[in-house]
Structure 1
Amino acid sequence: MNYKSLIQHAQNLLGNHSLFGLKDSLQNKSKISVFNEEDILKKYIDENQCFTNDEKLFLQKVFFGSIRYHSIITPTLETFYTITGSKQLRSKYNFFVVICYICLIHLETISFENFSSIIHSCPATDVYPFLKMIFDVDLLNGGLKEEWEKVLDHNFVKDNVIDVITGYIPDSQLLLKNLSLKTDEGYLIKKTKKKPTEPAPFELTVPHPRRFSTPNLKISNVFKAAPIPKSFYEGTGEKTAIENAKLENKKKSQTEQQNTKQFQVSKRITADKEKYAKEHERIRLQENKPIPKFKYQPPPKLINKPQNLTKQNIASILREDAIVRRKKKNDDNILNQALVNLTDLTEYQKKVDQDIEKDNFEMQLKVEKRHLEIQLLHEDSYVARKEKERENREIVKELIEEKNTLKSLTVQTKQEEEAIKKKIVEEVHEIKENITKARRNVMDENLKKASDLALETQALKAQALAEAQIERERKVELIHQIRMLEKQMPGISSHQKVVDLTETSGFGLLNEMCIVELQERLLLARVRHQEMEEKKREEILENKTKRLSMIAKKLQDIDTEREERKNQRKDKEEESKLALDAALSLKRAVLKEDPILKTLFEKLEAKRLARKSLSSTGVRSIKTFSNSKSNNETCESGIKSTNLQKSRNFNLQDFENEYLKRKENILKKRQTLIDKLNENGKQEKDQSLNEISC
C-alpha cells in the first residue's frame, strides 16, 4: 500500500465535507447544502478508479471515523496550533485530522510498524511536532484529557485513548529520534534490511517427454528478389574524385600567388578623374538636364570693420569681476602695509575706529531717512482713504433714497397680493364646507347599515350559543360513560415508573449523564464564568491605573516645558527692551545732528495733527450715518429682491413692468389652485360613493 497517496486522498475527501471545508464545485454560497457522507465517498471513488479493496476500506474508515470523532479531533488540533504558533500552516489542517484520528483511535488496531511506515511516508517537518505533542505524558494527563472528557466518558478516554498511547511511548522514542534527525540535519534513515528468503527446491515429479505437434504453417516457395546494391544510394566515386582534384588545384594556385606577391610594394590607386567627368556628362545629357550657371559674387567691402568682440557669459563676467577685486585688494594691502611701516600702531588704530564710527553714523542716517519717508507715505495713504470714505457716504445716501421709494412700492404690491390670497382662501373654505356636508350624508347612511348588521349578528350569535350548549351536553354524557368504563378496568398505577435523578437513560451514548451530574456541571460552569469575569474586571482596573499614571507623568512634563518656555520668553523680552532703548537713544542723537532729518520729522508731526482733526470730524459723520441706517433696516428685504445696489440709476418703468409680470403669475397660480381643489372635491365624493356601495 502506498501510504503517501492514501493520506493525500483521505485529505481531499475530508475537504469535500462541510465540517472540514467544501470544495468550490460542491459549495453554493447562496444556498447552504449538506451532502451525505456515503454519497461523497462514492462520488470520490468513482472519479478516481484506482483503488484496491484494502485501500477503499482504509479511506472509508478514516473518512467516517474523522467525522464521527470530530468533537475530539478539533480541540486537540487547536491546542497543537496554539503550541506551535505560526510555524504550522492552517492549509494542512485536513492532513493533521487524518494523522490525529489514526493516533487516537486506531493505534492499537494498526500495528506500530505499520504506523511508523505511515509516519515515514509523510513530511517529517509536519509530523514531528504533532507526534511530540501526542506522546507527551504531561499534556495527555493535563489539558488534552480535560478537553476529551468534556465530550466522551471518563472511563472510555482512560482505557481506549490515554492507556493505549502511554503503552506505545517507549516504542515512539526511536521514531521521534529518527524524525528529529530528518528535520534538523535532513538525513534519510536507512530502513532495516530483512533477511533474504532462502529458496527451497520444489518436490516435483519428473515430467514425461512432450510430443511436438505438427506445424500448421506452410513454407512459401516465392522467389526472393535480389537486394539493391549500395552504389545505387551512395553513388560512384567520380564526384568525390572531381571535388578532391578541385581542392588540390585551389591550394596550388594560392601557394603560387603567395610566392609571387610576397615582396611586392603596395601602391595607392589614383582615381581617373577625366573618365568619371565624361561618364557624369553622358548621364546628365541622357536625362536632358540644363547646366547650372553660377556667377561669382564677391563679398561686400565693409567701410567700418567691426571689432571681433566676444560675447561674454555670466560666469566670465563674474570671473573678471573677481580678478579686478583681487587686484584692488592687493593694492590696498600694499598701501596699508606702507602706512603701518611709516606710522605708529596707535595712530593707525584710532584712524580705523574713526572710519568705523563714520560708516555706522552714515548707515543710521540712511535708515532713519527711509523710516521717515515710509511714515510720510503712510500719512498720505490715510488722507486718501478718508476721501474715499466721504465718496462712499454720498453713494450710500443715494441708495437710501432709492430704498425709500422701493419700500413704498413693495408695500403696495404686498397689499394687492394679500387681497388676492384672501379671495383664494374664502373659495377654498366654501369647497371644504360642501365636502363636509357630503361626508355627513354618507355617515348617516353607514350608521343605518351598521345598525341592521348588528341586529343580524345578535340573532346569529344566539343561534350559535344554542348549538354550542347542545354540543356541550352531548360531550358531558360521553365523558360520563368513558369514566364509568375506566372504573371497571384494572388500575395502571403498578406499571408507572418512579423517576430517579441519579440514574442515566441507558441508551449507550457516549455523553450520557444523570440529571444530578448535569446540575453539578452547570454549577461548575457558572463558577468558572464568575471567576473569568472577576479576572477581567481586575485587568481593566490595572489598565486604567496604568493609563492614569502615564497621563499624570505627561502632564508634569508639559508643565515643566511650559515653565522653561516662559523663562526663555522673559529673557528675550528683556533683551529686546534693552535693544529698543539703545536704538531710541541712537535715533535721538541722529535727529539732533542731521538737519534734513529734523525737517522731515517736523513735516510728519504736522501731518499727524491734521489726521487727528480729520478723524474727529469723521466720527461725527459716521454716528449720523449709523442712526439713518438703523431707521432703514426694515427696507433690506426690498433691496435684496431687486438687486439695485449694482446700478446707481433707478428706472421706474422697468419696475412697473416687473410688477405686472408678477401679478399675472399670481393670477395663474390662483386659477391652478382652484382647479386642483375642485378635482380633489370630486375625487373625495367618488370615494365616499364607492364606500357606500361597498
Structure 2
Amino acid sequence: MAYYGKCIETVIEQLNKFKPEKDIPEQFLEAASTSLQTLSPQKQAFILEVLSGCLEYRKLLAVVVDAFYVRAGWLCRRADYNLFEVICYLATFQLDELGFQLFSDIIRSQPLDKMCKFLGFLFNPLSLCSWIKDEWSLIYETAHVSENWIDPLMRWQPEVQELIKQLEKVMTNQSPLPKTKAKVTEPKEFNLTVPRPRAIPVPEPVPVMTKPKPIPRSTYHPPKEQEQLEMTRRYNRWKAEELLLKVNIEEMRCAVPRSRGTTLVQGSEKKLQLRFMPRILKTPKLTFYKPNNVPVKLNTAAILREGSLYQRQVEKELQRVDKLVDGAGDFSEFLEWQKKMQAKDQEEALAAGECRRLQGKLSREEAILARQLLRQGNKQKADQKKEETAELMQQCAERRLQEERSMKELVEQVIEVQKNVKVAQMKLLKGRRQIVQEVIEESRELLQRTAEAAKEEQKRRCELIAQHRALETQPMRKGKLVDLTQIPGYGLEGEMSVVELRERLALLKETQQHKEEEKRDQIIQAKRARSQGLQNMVEQISLCRAAMGRSAALRWEQKKAQSAAPGPPSQDHRVLELRRRIEESAAERRKQAASGPISAPRAPRPKPRAQLESRHWVELQQSRERRLRALQRSCVDA
C-alpha cells in the first residue's frame, strides 16, 4: 500500500505544478519524465501514464469532481482536488487494466473517509445513467461514452459497493488516537476500625417432611365406566348399521326395475353387507349386552352448565303455562300448518330429484345423436392438421440448415479472436507478476515491524502483571467482630439489635401461620357446601334427563310411523313431460339405427355403463345414509 501511496503522491505533486494557462501538456510531460529519472522504470511508467491520462481527459474529470464538491464534498478540502481527479481517472479508464485487487489496494493507501465519499458519489447508478452521461456526451459522442466508460462502470458496481462497505467497517473499528498519559495516582491505605468477632448463629430446626399420598390406581388403570360406555357405543352402532342396511336394500329393490336391476341389487346387497358388517363380529370370544343405568362422571362446569340449562327450560315452561292461564293462544294450528308445508316441501324435493334423473337420461340420448356429427368434424380437422404440420416441418428443416451455416461462420471468427486475446493475456500476466513480487516484499517488511512491536508490547504487559501480583501478595488486616446483642446507636427511631429483630420476625411468622390455618378451615367449609349443592343439582339433572329421554322416544316412534307409510306416486307435470321426451328421443334413435345411412355410433361397453349405474346408486345410497344418521343424532341429542 505504501508503494502505491507514494506513486499517487508524486502524480498529485506534478498535477499541482501544472498550470493550464501557461504550460503545454507535451512539454510538461517531458519535464516531468526528466525529474523522475531517479525512480525505478516501473514506477516511472505508472506515474507518467496516470499523469498523461489526467491531462488528456481533464475536462471529463473536472465535470465529476466539481459536481462532487457541490453535492457531497462540502467538508472536503480544496487541496484534495487533484487526488479526486486521479481516483476518477483510475476508476473510469484504468480499472479493467489494473484489476480490482490492485485498484482496492490503491484506494486503501489513501484516506478512507474521503475515498468512501467519492466512490459512493462516482458509482451511484442514478448519477452515472443521468447527468454524468449527459455531461460527457456534450464533449464526446453518446455511443462512445456509453460503450467505453458508462457500461464498464455499471459492470463493476457490485465489487465497488462491497469495497465501500469494507472501508466503512474499517473506519468504525479504528482505535482512537493515543492520549497523553496522565499522572498516576498513588493508592493510600484506608483507616478502618478493627471489626468485632462474629457470634455463632443459632442453628435453625430441620423441617420434618410430610409423607406423600400413595398414587391412585386410576392413574394407570382406566375406570370400568369407560369400558362399559365403549361397549354400549359399539352395540348401538351395530344395531343402527343393521337397520340402515335393511332399509337401503328394500329401497333399492323398489327403485331398480326387474328387467335389468336384479343382478345390480344382488351385487349392491353384497357390497353393503360387507361395508356395514360390524367389526365386532370378527372377534368371536366377545359378548355383547346392553348395560342399564351407567353412571357418567361430570365436572363442576358441566354440572352447573346443564343445571342452568334445565332451570331455564323450566322457567320457560312455567312462563308458557302462565300465559295459557291468562288466555294466550296455542301453537297447535301453527304446528299443523308447519307439518303440511314440510310435507309439501318434501314432495317438491322428491319431484326435483326425479326431474334431475330424467334430465340425465334425456341428455344421454341427445349425446349419442350428437356424437356422430362430432366424429365427422374431428376427422376433417385431423386431416387439415396433418397437412399444416407437414408444411411446418419442411420450414423448420430449412431454418436449421441456415442456422448451422451461420454458426460455422461464427465459430471461425471466435477462433481468430481467441488467438489474438491469448497473446495480450501473456503480456498482462508478466506485468502483474512483477507487481505482485514487489508487493510481497513490502508485506514481509511490514510483518517484521509488527512482530517487533508486538514483542515490546508483550514485555510491557508482563511487567505490569508482575507489579499487580506483588501488590496482591501484601498482607491485609482482618475485619472487626460484630456483637449481635448491641444496638448500633445511630439515633434512628425504632432502633434495635439483630437478636431482637430475629425474635420479632419469629413472632410474626407464628401469627401468619395462625391466620393461614383459619383461612384454610373457611375454604374447606365452603368446598363442602359447594359439593353438597352440586350433588343436589346432579340429582335434578338425572330426573330431567329421564323425562327428556322419554319424550324423545315418543317423538322418534311418531316419525318412524310417518316414514313407514308409503307415499302416493309423483304426478308432477315436469316429470311427465321429461318421460315423454325421453320416449320420443329413444324412438328416434332406434329409427336412425334401423335406417343405417349414417354410420351408427359405437355401442357403449357394458362394463363402463354398469360402473356408472352402480356409482349412481352408491351415491344415492350414501345420501340416504347421511339422512338417517342425521335423524339418529337428532334423536340422541333430544
Q: How high is the TM-score relative to the length of structure 1?
A: 0.24
For CA contacts below 8 A with separation 6 or more, give which structure has more relative contact order: 2
Q: How high is the TM-score relative to the length of structure 2?
A: 0.27
Q: Answer with 1 or 2: which has the greater Rg.
A: 1
